[in-house]
Structure formats: structure tokens, C-alpha cells
Amino acid sequence: MSQDVDRQKKALRAEIRERRRSAPSTIIDEATEGLTAQLIALVEKLGARSISCYLPSNFEPNTRPFLTWAHEHNIRSLFPISREDGLLDWVVGDGSTETEGLFGVPEAVGEVLSPLAVNDVDLMLIPACAVDDQGMRVGWGRGYFDKTLGSMGQRPPVYAVIFDSEFLDSVPQDLHDQPVSGVVTPTKTVQLPQG
């Protein structure tokens, strides 16, 4: 990664983290309601019966109400488990049973499946710091999802879950960065050119 791109990404991450942490709870509650409706509509549109999704940390868009809906509708949900070697294992979970993971973020509890388990889902919902209108995603700097997406031969649709203000005209990018098929925000779901 070039030093300039690295600096740009660090600055963007710091700005987004601060904006997310300082958002009023009423705004977050509204965003969660809108996001839940958008995610449900996307799953129904795609007819997805198996998904992968993240358990949100305190500052990430809240997927928990959506995951409760998915569990109630018998949609198989896989959750990422961070490994020290930079790969993701996966766990089939209910979206509410969790523990603290490798980096202090919530991780689902259950039978641990291999990194290949995600190849069978109908839809991937992944976290992001920001995404641009060409589908390039800036993550949180550890590269787990870029490695996962880069290793998949046949990808299902991959949607980054972000807040509206994090859908940008452009984001800093490097060679290893992987594009997403679309974004889901509290007010819209957008399929992108890469998808």
C-alpha cells in the first residue's frame, strides 16, 4: 500500500468513527429502523435463504433487528470469526448469542466452519467504513473481508452496510481492495457497477 493511500484511509476511518460515535441516539434509532427495512427488502428481492452478516460493534450500523427477523424467517445466517492468520472462519448463528472476539468485537457462538463455508450463501452483508459509487470499499484496516472476497471464485452478491453519509463519490484504494456489488443504507439500497 502506498503511504499516501494509507494516510488517506486512516484519515477517512478516523473521521467516520468520530461521526458515528457522536451521532445522537435518536438518529441512530431512526437509521436502525430504516436499515432493517432495507435489508429485509433486499433479502426478499433476492430470495436469499442463506446469508452472511456481521454482528455490529457499538459504532457500526445496527443489523441486530434484521438478524432477529432473519432467524424468525428461517434464513440461515453465517457470522465471521476473525483468525490470527488474517482469514475468517464462519459460524451459523441466531444473531443474538455472542462472545467477545479477537479484536474486542462481538462474534457469534456456535460450531466453527471453515473459511470456505461462506461460498454457499446467497448474499453477503459486510461492514465498511465507506464505499464509493463505483463499488470500491474502504474497510477498517485489517483486510479480512478483502482477503475473503479476493479468494472467492464465484461470489454471491456482496453488499456493504453503511450510513448514508458514507456513500461517497470516491474513496482511496489500493491493489488488494475488493469491490462490492452494492450498498445498503438506512434510506436506500443501491446496486453498483462492480456488481
- 115-158 confidence digits (pLDDT tens): 999 999 999 999 999 999 999 999 987 888 999 998 888 899 99
pLDDT at 143: 81
In terms of Cα–Cα distance, which of 70, 65, 68 is closest to 35?
A: 65
Distances (CA, A) of 118 to 31, 154, 159: 27, 11, 14
pLDDT at 141: 79
Model-wide pTM > 0.75: yes
Question: Where do the domains of the chain lie?
Answer: 3-191
Other CB atoms within 10 Å distance of the CB of residue 52: 23
Fold of the 3-191 domain: Rossmann fold (3.40.50)
Low-confidence ranges of the chain (pLDDT < 70): 1, 194-195
